[in-house]
Amino acid sequence: MAVTGILLVLFLVAHMLGNLKIFTGETAFDHYAHWLREIGTPLLPSTWFLWIQRTALLAAVLAHIGAATVLAVRARAARPVKYAHRKKVNGSYAARTMRWGGVIILLFVIYHILDLTTGHLNPQGDPGNPYGNVVADFAPERWYVTLFYTLAVVALGFHLRHGAFSAFRSLGQQTPAGERRARAAALGFAVVLCAGYLVVPFAVLTGLVA
């Protein structure tokens, strides 16, 4: 769970930073997107590194879901007889929504790839002009796309907050103060990541990026 989670978080941080390049203008953003396909050349042929990264990401997602399933099955096996009165589950809202949060994020990623990578669900869908695709996607009249992205990113935020909290708690001091610090650090991390993602659609929606 943790190793694959860390890999996915590294991707999320890199992707968020890359998206912020949209504020440096169309030429710079499209150049950056082109560079993503050229990483590793001339040692590797063009787009090979991208495909290696895609394979690693897919493997990490599958292993993350696999590990979550094993943990859920193990937890159920530990308590084969259901509680007659199920006590209110302890833990934060984020902790209790990990499973459905994960499903929502997975569905979002499938939609998102068809939207901004393959272009099938994008109003422009030009592989050579990712900047134009993003601007066309989050245009004011398509406010519902921004709304959908916002809901998905907030779901991602809750998921990350709990995941990061578990990681920080394992690594930090096992005391009430250590736990408070882990909670605060996880919340800070999730908020920064959500804001970093959402600033792009909202900049297009409000005309700051056009």
Give the interface with ligand HEM as residue ranges (CB under 6 A): 15, 19, 33, 36, 54, 105, 109, 112-113, 116-117, 130, 134, 149, 153, 156, 197, 200-201
Tell me whether residue 94 or residue 200 sits nearer to ligand HEM (CB atom). 200
Tell me whether residue 68 or residue 169 sits nearer to ligand HEM (CB atom). 68
Closest CB 157 distance from ligand HEM, rounded Å:
10
Closest CB 96 distance from ligand HEM, rounded Å:
20
Tell me whether residue 149 or residue 165 sits nearer to ligand HEM (CB atom). 149
Closest CB 4 distance from ligand HEM, rounded Å:
14
Closest CB 153 distance from ligand HEM, rounded Å:
5
Closest CB 199 distance from ligand HEM, rounded Å:
9
User: Which tokens go with 55?
Assistant: 């394979």
Place of tokens 């390049």: 21
The residue whose Cβ lies closest to ligand HEM is 33
Tell me whether residue 42 or residue 128 sits nearer to ligand HEM (CB atom). 128
User: Which tokens go with 97?
Assistant: 């929504």
Give dist(CA 65, CA 74) in Å, integer.
Answer: 14
Q: 3-state SS of the chain: helix, strand, coil percent to 5?
A: 75, 0, 25
Give dist(CA 167, CA 164) in Å, integer.
Answer: 5
Tell me whether residue 68 or residue 113 sits nearer to ligand HEM (CB atom). 113
